[in-house]
Amino acid sequence: MRVALKKHWQRALDARWLVPCLLVGGLVLTFAIAHFGLLNNYVQLVLIYVGINIILATSLNLVNGYMGEFSLAHAGFMAVGAYSSALLSMKVLPVAAHPALFHLAVLAGGLVTALLGLLVALPSFKVRGDYLAIVTLAFLMIVKSALENIDAIGGPRGISGIPRLTTLPWVFCWTVALLWLIRNFVYSCYGRGVLAIREDEIASDLMSVDTRRVKVLAFMLSAFCAGIAGALFAHLLQFISPRVFDVVKTTEILIMVYLGGIASIGGSILGAALYTLLLELLRPSTVAGLLSWLPAVVFDPLNDYFIRHLGVLRMIIMPLALVLVMLFWPRGILGLREFRGFIPRRDRRAHGAARLKGTDTHDAADSHSTRET
């Protein structure tokens, strides 16, 4: 019985219609939620954060997971996207009259950031590993202090009064579009080049991979996505300041990536969603609400000594979670594995579907040979 169920489940996961159905379903659902107010504003806000964080985690995964580097620059990319798009939509584009122009501002934010990604890719030619981490950290600090010291864009006060144009359905669309781009990149000769660099850079060079070109492309795509996430973030919060984009922000994204699993788009989605939801769950008010059924004898001391301090404690709990994940689960939940629906059919067929699931190699090989004959 369980075997039969599992077969059906596998077949459903394998079906051609699954991903398109999920996409259309998600689109309709997000539009319906926003339009008819099916969920309250707070839940909608959390879902928007989930979307933005999925973009951030997946794009960082491209550099840190697929390429095996350790970049800390992501919050810096996000800041550049946020600032450039906010300035565009406030000072240049008549967004108030034509809200659709907002997407142009977001796209421009992404493109500006991609150019900056090119700049960060340059040191990666010479420097690897821990040293590249330090270089990217320096980049993050340069961006932050540059923003703090340019008075025209508010200096340390930041920018406020950005129009709130980021809505749930649009975040859904941007997320899907960017994931599609990253997935397409990963399953191309450039993506395989990125993987080869992680495995053995010199060998990949000797196998004709133009490692510099591949690195530049990967960094630019990663920065582009982070820039767009920053742009969406700015038009959600309506207020941005350099302080928002510090190393803590980068750490958050790192947690999502390593929790979900390196070199996996499905993993990054999972990691971003889990992290965002957990962080919301750990809010004092949420926890208090969830535990309010406890008798007062238990609840009151718990509240006094623990729940009330969660605002501070969760900043300890989440990094601790990262340490534990890295120690006991170094590849994360879905590390080096991928959700089937994301793998192009051509790729799955070519592999005889064997590498997707370690357990049913034989099944997959059999079904492959029957298909071939």
Partner 1 sequence: MTLLTATKVRHCFGGLCALADFNLELHQGELMGIIGPNGAGKTTVFNLITGVYRATEGSIRYRGAELVGLTPHQITARRIARTFQNIRLFRDLSVLDNVRIAHYSQTRYSPLEALLHLGRYRREEQRIIDDSRGLLAIFKLEHLAGETARNLPYGSQRRLEIARALAIGPELLLLDEPAAGMNPAEIDQLMELICGIRRQFELTILLIEHQMKLVMGICERIKVLDFGETLAEGSPEVIQNDPWVMEAYLGGGAVG
User: Contact with partner 1 (CB under 8 A): which of 61, 89, 204, 264?
Assistant: 204
Q: Would you say 19 or 354 has its CB closer to partner 1?
A: 354
Q: Which residues are CB-neighbours of 225 under 8 A, at least 6 positions away?
A: 55, 56, 58, 59, 62, 110, 178, 181, 182
Q: Does 239 bind partner 1 (CB under 8 A)?
A: no
Q: Does 226 bind partner 1 (CB under 8 A)?
A: no
Q: Does 336 bind partner 1 (CB under 8 A)?
A: yes
Q: Which residues are CB-neighbours of 231 under 8 A, at least 6 positions away?
A: 81, 82, 84, 85, 86, 105, 106, 109, 110
User: Contact with partner 1 (CB under 8 A): which of 92, 115, 142, 200?
Assistant: 200
Q: What is the largest CA-CA distance in the chain?
A: 71
User: Contact with partner 1 (CB under 8 A): which of 28, 43, 142, 203?
Assistant: 203
Q: Does 346 bind partner 1 (CB under 8 A)?
A: yes
Give the angle 175-180-184 at the CA atoms, nearest 5°: 150
**What interhelical angle do 247-260 and 310-328 show, nearest 10?**
50
Q: Which window, 72-80, 273-281, 296-304, 353-361, contacts partner 1 (CB under 8 A)?
A: 353-361
Q: Which residues are CB-neighbours of 200 under 8 A, at least 6 positions away?
A: none
Q: Does 210 bind partner 1 (CB under 8 A)?
A: yes
Eight-class DSSP state of 93: S
Number of alpha helices (DSSP H) and beta strands (DSSP E) in the chain: 18, 2
Q: Does 80 bind partner 1 (CB under 8 A)?
A: no
**What interhelical angle do 74-87 and 41-61 show, nearest 10?**
120
**# chain residues binding partner 1, by CB under 8 A:** 40
- Residue 197 beta carbon to partner 1: minimum distance, rounded to whole angstroms: 10
- Radius of gyration of the chain from Cα atoms? 22
Q: Does 211 bind partner 1 (CB under 8 A)?
A: yes
Q: Would you say 69 or 252 has its CB closer to partner 1?
A: 69
Tokens of 232: 């969406």
Q: Does 359 bind partner 1 (CB under 8 A)?
A: no
- Residue 8 beta carbon to partner 1: minimum distance, rounded to whole angstroms: 23
- Residue 334 beta carbon to partner 1: minimum distance, rounded to whole angstroms: 15
Q: Would you say 9 or 180 has its CB closer to partner 1?
A: 180
Q: Which window, 129-137, 144-152, 199-207, 251-259, contacts partner 1 (CB under 8 A)?
A: 199-207
CB contact at 8 A, 58 and 265:
yes
Q: Does 63 bind partner 1 (CB under 8 A)?
A: no
Query: Which positions touch partner 1 (CB under 8 A)?
Result: 181, 184-185, 187-193, 195-196, 198-200, 202-211, 217, 221, 336, 344, 346, 350-356, 361, 364-365
